[in-house]
Structure 1
Amino acid sequence: MVLPDKTIIIQGVNFLVTVFVLNVLLIKPIREIISKRKGLMADQMEKIDAFNANAAKKVEDYEAQLASARKEANEIRTSMKQAATAEEQALVSAAGTEAAGTIQSARAEIKVQVQGAMDQLTRDVNKFAEQATGKILGQA
């Protein structure tokens, strides 16, 4: 059996002093460093979360702007197509009108030429008929 004597009290005091000195010199600074690291890590995580949220918002804004630009481009393309179709119809109509005018003037010219040819043929037929009659009747 162990009998307590005065050395046990000295060892107890020595133990308490050692724990106190270790706490002051070693444990407290380590705890402070760990606490600072936790704070730094929490701050870094907040910054990372804020950055990710900001990046997600920017991507969302970019996609919205891209969709808007595509919609605007489609509207511009549609309006240009409609304008081109209207211009094409106007050009075709103008060309049709011009062609109709050209055809009418050509028909009138042909009619005049046909009438002139008919008049010339009538004169020639009359002339040939007179010559044939003259030859038949023996006049010249």
Structure 2
Amino acid sequence: MLDLNITLLFQLANFLIALFVLNILLIRPIRRIIRQRKDVMDGMRGEAESFEDEAAKRLDNYEAALVQARRDAARLCDEGRSAGAAEQQVIVGDAQKKAQEILAQTRRELEAEAQQTLAALRGQVASLSAMTAEKVLRG
């Protein structure tokens, strides 16, 4: 059986002293280091979450700015098209006016030439009639 003698007390005292020394030299510093690491990890986790939140906010802002830029580009494109169409109408209107003026001027010139030609032919008709009558009478 088990003998309860003085060595058991010495071993128990040795064990308690070793446990006390190990607690002071090893267990407390390890617990402190583990606690510090846990605090650092919690801080890093919090920073990572704040970075993720900030990144999500920046992404949302970027997407909103991109949507706004697309709207602005579409609006500017529409404005450019409408301005181009208006300018086209002005240019086409001016071209039609010029074409009508040119056509009217050409008609006037042709009418003047026709009148001159007709007058010249009328002048020749009298002389041709006289020549024809003279030939008929001689004939």
Task: Please say whether Structure 1 and Structure 2 have the same fold, judged by a TM-score greater than 0.5.
Answer: yes
Unpaired runs of at least 5, structure 2 = none
Counterpart in the other structure of 1:47 = 47
Q: Deviations over 1:62-91 (max 9, x none)?
A: 111111111101111110110001100111
Q: For 1:17 and 1:11, locate their aligned partners in 2 and report how far apart those are by CA, in whole Å.
A: 10
Q: Percent identity?
A: 33
Counterpart in the other structure of 2:22 = 22
TM-score by length of structure 1 reads: 0.92
Q: For 2:49 and 2:3, locate their aligned partners in 1 and report how far apart those are by CA, in whole Å.
A: 63
Shift of 1:39: 0.6
2:93 partner amino acid: S
Shift of 1:99: 0.6
Q: Which range is displaced more, 20-29 or 7-16?
A: 7-16
2:99 partner amino acid: A
Counterpart in the other structure of 2:81 = 81
Shift of 1:96: 0.6
Counterpart in the other structure of 1:56 = 56
Paired positions, count: 138
Q: For 2:90 and 2:22, locate their aligned partners in 1 and report how far apart those are by CA, in whole Å.
A: 99
Counterpart in the other structure of 2:100 = 100
TM-score by length of structure 2 reads: 0.93
2:103 partner amino acid: I
Q: For 1:46 and 1:114, locate their aligned partners in 2 and report how far apart those are by CA, in whole Å.
A: 99
1:24 partner amino acid: I
2:19 partner amino acid: V
- Point out 4+ residue stretches in structure 1 off by more than 4 angstroms: none
Shift of 1:137: 3.1
